[in-house]
Homo-oligomer: A and B are copies of this chain.
């Protein structure tokens, strides 16, 4: 049993380590040499550039201006200073709304904490149940519901508080949903013209024996959307070309490197080996070798591009169809095209940056099969993941290692080494699995066949949340693996399960307080320090960076990673709501987490992260839904707990809470969710009219010309001359100058 003092020590340690992280950050970020690690966003924006090479060499690497160290917490107010509108402009709506999740946590939990401490803590504390029971108890338990005697009328307070907390949470959620929905609509309706406003993604184009896909798409939309069809963009299978382009880039980079070396030291011709990693093979003249390799790959590139263009098999049965007006696109995206609802499927085209090109050509039947497979696989993963890990652990013990690698035996037998291995080995398999988990979940989501990166992230996030809920929350509350829980759940009665979990909840309060501090506080402090990117950047810079372009690539700003970070926030919502009535003492820790994380992530979003795509806060319904589910879980658990407390008078009144909450969710879904799924015609036509009045001669066709070409086709020389918009045989070959800046914001066509 952790006492208040234990918690205090733990809090002090965690606060201290968080402060140490912040201090380290404050010092490191001031060094010019780290500038690209802590402010990459500004480099990408073109506002900052590498420190000029004039001046002392030392000053290029270390900041000698001691006054700047005095203001080592100066980043905090400056992170808060940027107004939200500017933030949206600077980092996009996704990032701005993501920050609102932390704010939402504060909005929900600050009043709940105040109320809890003002009312529940005194009510709980002024009993002596725990003393009279003469059991081992801690101070925290004295503040919790455990200290109220069975059958006491004081439970009415908890009941009323449960209602108050639910209503407050729902009220804040409602307001927030309203705000985010209007932000999204405003964002979508904002003055800037974007290609995806005019474009619809058509998938599952049926094969036709007489017409090519190109003709088929054109004829279909000319016939069925007569007033507004403008043009379409075919989707090519460019996976092989992507590989060639990647390889050529690498070769080009080496070529640049050797040329640079030769320029600096013209006396010595650089040489290299052609074999694996340049470690063996024939020694050749490096510049000549890479020149010939690059030339070879350039030819391959062009050949492959020509093959893609000529071979009708490389055209996938999908297309981006553009319309003359936003109205036309809105109509096409929201309607069913043919009798058969599995062909000619239309949906809003994701942003060009947001498209996940590999999934554009999966037929309907295969999609449903894939979802079934992933659902079963995820179930097995969530409940049975401990089995293979336990198996690995059983193999990876001292005896096993001694057997398989006998010559290490003397080393292993040493006391210190042995204890380290015994202490760490069992944990390592689990740790590796947990590190890999988000990647595994993302792969599962990709297999399911979503066509936008944003929807992949949302999908992976919901899987991750379920995993955390089952294995972290329930797993720690009733102390057992998910498999054991499943077993308990199946063999226990429906009313028994919430009771078992509910009773365990107050006992686990001190554990979760420590969890919030270690995982939450320290995790956020680690986030701002960016230790891993810092080390990797410097390693790369020292060993690998050969050119200025390399250095840019070594920056790796990353993104806020919705798929992993949002489920973790949701876990804190769940903890806060579950403990709000039971042990309000836990709430301040949650509040500190939300406040601190808000500060840090705001700073990171302004200075570091570079969001790959913009989905217009499409994730909000999922965020809202998960908070609601946390609310319902907390209500059911409270019901289970109260029913063991023999508070027969008050407990039945709790039944209405989940019913009302589910109804509230349905109401919100009907009221606000369409704003995230559909595009109102009124908005579309307003925008169209405005634009027609402002720019009557706008050449929309030219504007949309290259928007939805596979990025790798754009990169290949002459790619912009691709016959992209088929205009009834008349090819418009317009070369669009690729601006370095805009291209840099379009990093990779897809992540691994």
Contact = CB atoms under 8 A, between A and B. Distances in A.
Contacts of A672: 341
Nearest to A220: B682
Interface stretch (A278-286, A329-337, A563-571): A329-337
Interface centre among A493, A672, A683 (most CB of B within 10 A): A493
A338 B682 contact: yes
Contact of A667 (B368, B492, B666, B673): B368
Given A331-B331, A368-B666, A681 B491 contact: no
B223 A335 contact: no
A10 interface: no
A133 interface: no
A337 B671 contact: no
A320 interface: no
A678 B341 CA distance: 10
Contacts of A8: none
A659 B496 CA distance: 26
A268 interface: no
B490 A670 contact: no
A364 interface: yes
A476 interface: no
Interface string A364-378: 110010011000100
Interface in A153-182: 182
Interface string A226-243: 110000000000000000
Nearest to A490: B495
A341 B670 contact: yes
B678 A376 contact: no
Given A494-B489, A495-B491, A671-B342, A681 B337 contact: yes
Given A376-B659, A494-B489, A659-B376, A336 B681 contact: yes
B364 A670 contact: yes
A22 interface: no
A680 B364 CA distance: 18
A693 to B, nearest CB: 14
A422 interface: no
Contacts of A224: 681-682, 685
A679 interface: yes
Interface in A578-606: none
A368 B493 contact: no
Contacts of A663: 368, 372
A675 interface: yes
Contacts of A682: 223-224, 337-339, 344
B491 A678 contact: no
A667 B363 CA distance: 13
A523 interface: no
Contacts of A91: none
A492 to B, nearest CB: 5
Interface of A: 182, 185, 223-227, 330-331, 334-339, 341-342, 344, 364-365, 368, 371-372, 376, 489-496, 659, 663, 666-667, 670-675, 678-683, 685
Given A339-B683, A368-B663, 7 more contacts: A334-B336, A336-B674, A336-B679, A341-B673, A342-B671, A492-B493, A493-B493
For the complex of A and B, the 4 pairs showing the least CB-CB separation, nearest first, are: A341-B674, A336-B678, A372-B663, A334-B335
